[in-house]
Amino acid sequence: MLTEVAEVVEANGNAVKIKFTKRPMCSCCNFNTLCKGGEDSLSITNVPFPVQCGDKIEVSVEEKVSLVGSILLFGIPIVIFVTVVLLLKRHSEITSFLAALCTIAFYYAIIKIAVKKKEKYFNLKILRKL
C-alpha cells in the first residue's frame, strides 16, 4: 500500500475533508501543474475514529489503484494518439495531429467525469491518527 500524511481541514461526523501537503519532490516534477503540485484536498466518508480539524492522519491507497491511474493518464492516451495519427496518415500531417489532440482532449474529459462519479472506488483508507 502507498501511504501519505494528510491534514484534516473539515470534520463533520464520520465524514472529513483532508488536504495533502506539498512534497519537496513535486516542485521538480514537470507534471506538478496537473496534480496541483502535490497539494490537493478530497473528502472521505466512514472515518473509523473521531478526528478534528488540524489533526494529521495517515491515509493509504493500494498500489493497484495507482498503477491503473497511471495507465489511464499516460499509457492509453499515447496509444490513442498514435492510433489516430496512423489511421489518418493519408490526410495532411496537421490534420492527423490536430485530430489526435482533439481525441485525447475528449478522452481526458470522459476520464474526468468518470473519476468524479467513481471516486468511492479508489478505496482511500485512513490508517491512523498521528
Computed over every residue of the chain, the mean pLDDT equals: 80
Q: What pLDDT is attached to residue 39?
A: 55
Cell of 116: 468524479
Residues 61 and 124 sit within 8 Å (Cβ to Cβ): yes
pLDDT digits (tens, 9 = 90+) for 31-75: 555 555 555 667 777 777 888 888 888 887 777 877 888 888 899
Contacts of 23 (CB under 8 A, 6+ apart): 38
Q: Quote the CA–CA distance of 98 and 118 in Å, as a whole number.
A: 30
On whether the CB atoms of residues 76 and 67 are closer than 8 A, the answer is no
Q: Identify which of 85, 8, 14 has the alpha carbon closest to the alpha carbon of residue 49.
A: 14
pLDDT at residue 95 in the model: 93
- Read off the pLDDT band of 101 (50, 70, 90): very high
Of 5, 127, 125, the closest CA to residue 65 belongs to 125
pLDDT-based confidence at residue 121 (cuts at 50, 70, 90): low
Burial string for 50-80 (b: 16+ CB within 10 Å, else e) reads ebeeebebebebeeeeeeeeeeeeeeebeee
Mean pLDDT of 102-120: 84
| Of the listed ranges 3-12, 13-22, 101-110, 113-122, the one predicted with least confidence | 113-122
